[in-house]
């Protein structure tokens, strides 16, 4: 069986702590696959907030998730606290990939690697928008010359 491979960037400039709640646990007694994506969403919201943005307002544009990849490394259980790290990379004209690494806070074991592809969207005009310079500046990423 072919396995999904996900190469993570080396540097993660943002991290936050997220506790595994009972609603994240599946009938197997560990972090559920649907909840793994929910944790990535929570980490993304916090990452954007740390930059002064929200998913619906990044210099007037919103984000739309275009794809997701989840690679499980270890189980996570109710009551554990995870260190969620986030970075942006692989920029295109309209979007980028957001990468996530989740580690157990107490022992550092890796729990989950994830990636979500996002594009910027002008909801008022119902069309894709170029990556805002304000977003690139907030990340310390060079703004392409026009």
Question: Tell me: the pLDDT tens digits for 102-112?
Answer: 999 999 999 99
C-alpha to C-alpha distances, 18 to 23, 102, 128, 133, 142, nearest whole angstrom: 13, 9, 32, 30, 30
Domains and CATH numbers, the chain: 14-138 (3.10.129.10)
What average pLDDT does the structure give for the chain? 95
Say yes or no to pLDDT of 128 above 90. Answer: yes
pLDDT for the residue numbered 131: 97
> Band of the pLDDT at 145, cuts 50, 70, 90?
low
Output phi, psi for 5, to 5 deg: -115, 140
Those residues whose C-beta lies under 8 Å from the C-beta of residue 97, and which sit 6 or more positions away, are 88, 89, 90, 115, 116, 117, 118
Burial of 1 (0-12, 13-18, 19+ CB in 10 A): exposed
Residues 106/74, Cβ–Cβ less than 8 Å: no
> Band of the pLDDT at 146, cuts 50, 70, 90?
low
Question: Tell me: the pLDDT tens digits for 26-44?
Answer: 999 999 999 999 999 999 9
Q: Half-sphere exposure of residue 146, counting CA atoms within 13 Å on the CB side? A: 4
Strands 62-72 and 127-129: unpaired
């Amino acid at each position: 069986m072919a396995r999904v491979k996900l190469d993570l960037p080396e540097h993660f400039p943002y991290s936050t702590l997220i506790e595994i709640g009972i609603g994240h646990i599946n009938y197997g007694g560990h972090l559920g696959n649907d909840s793994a994506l929910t944790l990535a969403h929570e980490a993304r919201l916090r990452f954007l907030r740390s930059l002064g943005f929200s998913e619906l307002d990044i210099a007037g544009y919103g984000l739309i998730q275009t794809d997701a990849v989840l690679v499980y490394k270890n189980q996570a259980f109710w009551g554990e606290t995870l260190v969620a790290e986030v970075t942006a990379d692989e920029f295109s004209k309209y979007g980028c990939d957001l990468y996530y690494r989740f580690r157990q806070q107490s022992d550092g074991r890796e729990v989950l690697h994830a990636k979500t592809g996002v594009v910027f969207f002008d909801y008022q005009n119902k069309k894709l928008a170029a990556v805002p310079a304000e977003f690139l500046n907030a990340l310390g990423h060079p703004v392409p010359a026009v």
